Amino acid sequence: MEKQNKAKLSLVIPCFNEEQAVPIFYEETTKVLATMECEYELLFVDDGSKDGTLDILTNLASKDDKVYYLSFSRNFGKESAIYAGFCNADGDYVAVMDADMQDPPALLPEMLKILQDGEYDSVATRRMDRKGEPPIRSWFARRFYQFINKVSDADVVDGARDFRMMKREMVDSIVGMDEYNRFSKGIFGWIGFRTYWLPYENVERVAGETKWSFWKLFKYAVGGIINFSEVPLNIASWFGVVMTFLSFVFLLFVIFRRVCFGDPVAGWASTICVIVFIGGIQLFCMGIMGQYIAKTYTESKHRPHYIISRTNKDGVGIIG
Ligand code: UDP
Ligand code: MG
- Does the pLDDT at position 290 exceed 80? yes
- Does the pLDDT at position 3 exceed 70? no
CATH number where 74 lies: 3.90.550.10
CA distance 124 to 162: 8
Q: Which of 71, 37, 35, 41 is nearest to 53 (CA)?
A: 71
Number of domains in the chain: 2
Q: How far is the CA of 90 from the centre of ligand 2 (A)?
A: 25
Residue 162 and residue 255 in one domain? no
Residue 139 and residue 187 in one domain? yes
Q: Which pLDDT value is given to residue 192?
A: 87
Contact between 310 and 68 (Cβ < 8 Å)? no
Ligand nearest to the CA of 18: 1
Q: Which pLDDT value is given to residue 264?
A: 67
Q: Which of 128, 152, 283 is nearest to 222 (CA)?
A: 152
CA distance 83 to 171: 10
Report percent pLDDT > 90 for the chain: 43
Q: Is the CB of 211 under 6 A from ligand 1?
A: yes
- Domain assignment present for residue 41? The answer is yes
Q: Which pLDDT value is given to residue 69?
A: 96
Q: Which pLDDT value is given to residue 130?
A: 75
Pocket probe mutation, ligand 1, options 100, 127, 205, max atoms within 8 Å of Cβ: 100
Q: Which of 14, 305, 34, 44 is nearest to 163 (CA)?
A: 14
> What is this structure's pTM?
0.83
Residue 76 and residue 167 in one domain? yes
Residue 114 and residue 250 in one domain? no
CA distance 315 to 168: 18
**Cβ neighbourhood burial of 13 (10 Å; 0-12, 13-18, 19+):** buried
Q: Which helix (DSSP H) or strand (DSSP E) does residue 124 occupy?
A: strand 122-127
Q: Is the CB of 309 under 6 A from ligand 1?
A: no
User: Which phi and psi (to 5°) does residue 24 adopt?
Assistant: -65, -45
Q: Which pLDDT value is given to residue 78?
A: 93
Give nearest CA residue, ligand 1 atom 13: 98
Q: Is the CB of 202 under 6 A from ligand 1?
A: no
The four Cα atoms 269, 273, 279, 282 give a dihedral, to 10 degrees, of -150
Residue 283 and residue 178 in one domain? no
Residue 241 and residue 181 in one domain? no
Contact between 47 and 84 (Cβ < 8 Å)? no
Q: pLDDT for 251-273, tens place per residue?
A: 888 888 888 887 666 777 778 87
Beta 93-96 vs 67-72: how paired, if at all? unpaired
Q: Which of 85, 96, 92, 83 is nearest to 176 (CA)?
A: 83
- The neighbouring-strand residues paired with 310 are 71
CA atoms in the 13 A half-sphere facing the CB of 210: 13
Lowest mean pLDDT among 19-23, 72-76, 122-126, 294-298: 294-298
Q: Higher confidence at residue 266 or residue 79?
A: 79
Q: How far is the CA of 145 from the centre of ligand 2 (A)?
A: 19
- Domain assignment present for residue 226? The answer is no
- Looking at residue 31, its amino acid is K
Contact between 154 and 187 (Cβ < 8 Å)? yes
DSSP 175-242: HH---SS--HHHHHHHH---EEEEEE-----SSS--S--HHHHHHHHHHHHHHH--HHHHHHHHHHHH
Q: Higher confidence at residue 233 or residue 84?
A: 84
Q: How far is the CA of 233 from the centre of ligand 2 (A)?
A: 33
- Domain assignment present for residue 110? The answer is yes
- Does the pLDDT at position 143 exceed 70? yes
CA distance 144 to 112: 31
Atom index in ligand 1 nearest the CA of residue 16 equals 11
Residue 199 and residue 276 in one domain? no
pLDDT band (50, 70, 90) for residue 135: confident
- Does the pLDDT at position 1 exceed 50? no
- Domain assignment present for residue 224? The answer is no
Q: Is the CB of 102 under 6 A from ligand 1?
A: yes
Ligand nearest to the CA of 79: 1
pLDDT band (50, 70, 90) for residue 241: confident
Average pLDDT, the chain: 88
Residue 163 and residue 235 in one domain? no
Q: Which pLDDT value is given to residue 255?
A: 84
- Domain assignment present for residue 320? The answer is no
- Domain assignment present for residue 187? The answer is yes
Residue 206 and residue 246 in one domain? no
Q: Is the CB of 127 under 6 A from ligand 1?
A: no
Q: Is the CB of 73 under 6 A from ligand 1?
A: no
Residue 150 and residue 61 in one domain? yes
DSSP 285-312: HHHHHHHHHHHHHHHHTT--S-BEEEE-
pLDDT band (50, 70, 90) for residue 4: low
- Whole-angstrom CA distances from 312 to 56, 62, 70, 99 are 13, 10, 7, 19
Lowest mean pLDDT among 7-11, 39-43, 231-235: 231-235
Compute the average pLDDT of residues 176-183: 90
Give nearest CA residue, ligand 1 atom 18: 210
Q: Which pLDDT value is given to residue 248?
A: 81
Q: Higher confidence at residue 269 or residue 303?
A: 303
Range of the domain at 273: 231-300
Residue 32 and residue 138 in one domain? yes
- Domain assignment present for residue 1? The answer is no
Q: Is the CB of 126 under 6 A from ligand 1?
A: no
Q: How far is the CA of 257 from the centre of ligand 2 (A)?
A: 64
Q: Over the range 24-42, which residues count as b (16 or more CB within 10 Å of their CB) and which as e? A: ebbeebbeebeeeebebbb
- Domain assignment present for residue 218? The answer is no
Residue 133 and residue 208 in one domain? yes
Q: Which pLDDT value is given to residue 287?
A: 86
